[in-house]
Chain A
Amino acid sequence: MVLTSTPRRPLQSLLLHPATKPALFAVALVPFTLLVIGIVRHTLGANPAETLIRSLGDWTLRFLCLTLAITPLRQWTGLAALARLRRMLGLFTAFYATLHFLAYAVFDMELAWSDIVRDVGKRPFILVGTTAFLLLLPLAATSFNRAIRWLGAARWQALHRLVYAIALLAILHFFWMRAGKRNFGEVAVYAAILGVLLGWRVVRAAQGRYFMKLGSQSAKG
């Protein structure tokens, strides 16, 4: 890996700049801010509850894609400093997922928990979405450095591999939600993005195993 090649250096130093993380934090809050403004100014359309729930779902999926894009991008570009942004993006995924779930619980179900439980049982796409949300919670809860030390890196990493299952559940949730109108255009876009991001990891893992085998054989030889 050529970390010192000149064209990459400006990007690398930009990523390492102390203002980069606060800037990303501010940018990631823009969708949330716009939605709050929309609520206050009554510009979310005829069915603001629906707009709110769906927009929050969209942003959850977008941040999930961004989070999962960090590692492949780092590997493709050699920009190691990208890794600094991954935790914040992951936490924003959890932030929007939590708001998405709360908006559903408050505006769609009026916080009637027995109805929510029944709804989860009744509608497969709600079940899948709720499962993805619940799986996301332990990841958000163990995102800080001390949690990594407590768990040990290996266990922490194993736990955080849950994000792959979460991604699959999230896209299934979106697919099922759109199935009523067979409106799969956007679903296909997100599925393709997630397919590339997860597929890349599968390929790399396979390659890693292959090279490891080669290595062990040559060591024996």
Chain B
Amino acid sequence: MLQPKDRGFVHPVASEITPRPVFESRRRWIAAATAAAVLGPRVALAQNQAAGKGTPLAGARSTVPGAITMEKPTSFADATRYNNYYEFGLDKSDPAEHAHTLKTRPWTVAVEGEVRKAGTFGIDDLLKLAPMEERVYRLRCVEGWSMVIPWLGYSLAELIRKVEPTGNAKYVQFVTLADRAQMPGLRSSVLDWPYVEGLRLDEAMNPLTLLTFGMYGQVLPNQNGAPMRVVVPWKYGFKSGKSIVKIRFVEQQPATSWSLAAPQEYGFYSNVNPTVDHPRWSQATERRIGEGDLFAKKRPTLMFNGYEAQVGQLYAGMDLKKWY
């Protein structure tokens, strides 16, 4: 707020005035949330029905700062039919069509490398490792579109603390399943399989980094990375590995699939940043999927996807143009 000394009137800065669509959508959200609190299970049930026939998964609303955006969530249909998951094909509609071949039980996740308690975790043990939370995150794809998704999971930090990283652990690498029998997309040579992603240990430990098991009140649909994935809301979507079978703690910055495929286009960090363009397109704006009609205006993309308050300090002093 600007507060001129000579006047009694407090002038808001133009940029601080909440635009009408935003406050209206907040009001709708608050109304819906109030209705949900009052009507409780009946509304939740209705939402699950709208979301399809998935197995329900419950989670308490997260209290982690920044974990719940008030923006209107993307429809379940859009969030589950417009996906990038190249193991099931290159078109956005391919994962929804082909991911039914993925077998999510039995499922184990190997934790190895620079940890004191390396081992293999069964998916059912991982589901019980910490209390499940619901978090509503913005998701910004490097291609220039975005969604708002209610995820279910807990901070990856919970698992990391359990396995006790050694002093040598500086990075975490996530390895996605690569099984030709279940994943028709592996025949394509677009990337080297398996899909690998990684984070710096402090990024992985940030409470916003979510080990994710569900969305929209149910277990993850296969095409969204079942049975377990990570979600790193301040980075472009491809940083959030799906259907994870291995988590490695390493000393050197690990290889990541897209920076191997096109190092000049995709860096290790890949933080959402409207001021650093992709070499082939602008990252200043984004199209929010399902928002308005064909003529809806694009939204300005926010620094760190709007999570600057929570994660900005991780990159203090870094040249983000260099470390893209």
Contact B92 A47 (CB under 8 A): yes
Nearest residue, chain A, Cβ from B75: A46
What is the bound-complex CA distance between A184 and B289, given in angstroms?
26
B145 surroundings in chain A (CB, below 8 A): 47, 50
Nearest first, the 5 closest Cβ-Cβ pairs linking A and B are: A46-B82, A46-B78, A182-B190, A183-B90, A46-B289
Given contacts A110-B298, A122-B281, A123-B280, contact A46 B290 (CB under 8 A): yes
Chain B contact residues, majority secondary structure: loop
Nearest residue, chain B, Cβ from A39: B294
- Asked if B81 lies at the interface with its beta carbon under 8 angstroms from chain A, I say yes
Closest Cβ–Cβ distance, residue A185 to chain B (whole Å): 9
Nearest residue, chain A, Cβ from B82: A46
Chain A contact residues, majority secondary structure: helix
A122 surroundings in chain B (CB, below 8 A): 277, 280-282
- Asked if B15 lies at the interface with its beta carbon under 8 angstroms from chain A, I say no
Seen from chain A, the residues whose Cβ lies within 8 Å of a Cβ on chain B are 39, 45-50, 52, 106-107, 110, 115, 118-119, 122-125, 180-183
What is the bound-complex CA distance between A50 and B261, given in angstroms?
24
Nearest residue, chain A, Cβ from B296: A49
B282 surroundings in chain A (CB, below 8 A): 115, 118-119, 122
B290 surroundings in chain A (CB, below 8 A): 46
Closest Cβ–Cβ distance, residue B93 to chain A (whole Å): 7
Contact with A along B292-311 (1 / 0, CB 8 A): 00110110000000000000
Closest Cβ–Cβ distance, residue B232 to chain A (whole Å): 21
- Asked if B189 lies at the interface with its beta carbon under 8 angstroms from chain A, I say yes
What is the bound-complex CA distance between A180 and B294, given in angstroms?
25
What is the bound-complex CA distance between A115 and B82, given in angstroms?
27
B190 surroundings in chain A (CB, below 8 A): 181-183
Nearest residue, chain A, Cβ from B83: A46
Determine which of A45, A49, A180, A183 lies in contact with B82 in the assembled complex, contact meaning CB atoms within 8 Å: A45
Contact with A along B264-291 (1 / 0, CB 8 A): 0100000000000100111000010110
What is the bound-complex CA distance between A45 and B298, given in angstroms?
17
Contact A182 B294 (CB under 8 A): no
What is the bound-complex CA distance between A107 and B297, given in angstroms?
8
Contact with A along B127-159 (1 / 0, CB 8 A): 000000000000000000100000000000000
Closest Cβ–Cβ distance, residue B10 to chain A (whole Å): 35
B189 surroundings in chain A (CB, below 8 A): 182
